[in-house]
Amino acid sequence: MDTITVRENGADLTFGWEDLLRYHGGGFPGGVVHGLKAMQAAFRLLSDDPPERREIVVATAFTGPGGRDAIEHVTRALTDGRLTVDRSLGGAHPIDDPPGPYLFRFAYRGRRVEATVLPGHVRADFIALGAKPDRSPDEEARLTALKAEMAQRLLPLPADAVYAARLLPPATG
């Protein structure tokens, strides 16, 4: 539940949680898990086989560096110009207007899949503290602990227990 496999020129590449976290640097472990779980939930609908990593196109409302880095490490979508961040894709708030930024769309060989976080996985105290300007040192420490708690809580869960994934109609035009 902590790995994802893609292909590069026909060879399978499997990335584990530790690989993604190391690439990211560790500051936003919860975001890394969100990127991983969204990809896991979506990729099984994109293809029966691991998708070719450099053919995956990503659009997301998620602006966090952990999710971005997880997706980049697996797909190279940012490097290759196939990653778009558009906050208007999700609702304004993950609890009051779900899914908030926790929305990821993946396209691959004519298929499109949307993955959205399920209720209860992003907690109100995390959102409130993350949005607070001018956090005190104690609040920064608490936010760091909440990021780690989220990662530890979500990582062992199956992807479909964290993200709902659904096929979208083919793109037109």
Q: Is residue 23 part of a domain?
A: yes
User: Residue 173: pLDDT band by 50, 70, 90 thresholds?
Assistant: low
Q: Is residue 161 part of a domain?
A: yes
Q: Is residue 34 part of a domain?
A: yes
> CATH number of the domain that 164 lies in?
3.30.1330.130
User: Residue 65: pLDDT band by 50, 70, 90 thresholds?
Assistant: very high
Q: Is residue 111 part of a domain?
A: yes
CA angle 100, 101, 107 (to 5 degrees): 120
Number of domains in the chain: 1
* Dihedral, CA of residue 41, residue 46, residue 13 and residue 11, to nearest 10: 160
Inter-helix orientation angle 65-75/29-46, to 10°? 40
Q: Is residue 151 part of a domain?
A: yes
Q: Is residue 69 part of a domain?
A: yes
Q: Is residue 26 part of a domain?
A: yes
Residue 23 has pLDDT above 70, yes or no: yes
User: Residue 91: pLDDT band by 50, 70, 90 thresholds?
Assistant: confident
Q: Is residue 173 part of a domain?
A: no
Segments forming the whole domain that contains residue 163: 3-168
The residue ranges of DSSP E strands in the chain, in sequence order, are 3-8, 11-16, 57-60, 83-85, 103-108, 111-117, 163-168
Over residues 95-131, the pLDDT tens digits come to 888 899 999 999 999 999 999 999 999 999 999 999 9
User: Residue 88: pLDDT band by 50, 70, 90 thresholds?
Assistant: very high
Query: What is the percent of the chain where pLDDT is above 90?
Result: 92
Task: Of 58, 38, 34, 60, give the one whose Cα is nearest residue 126.
Answer: 34
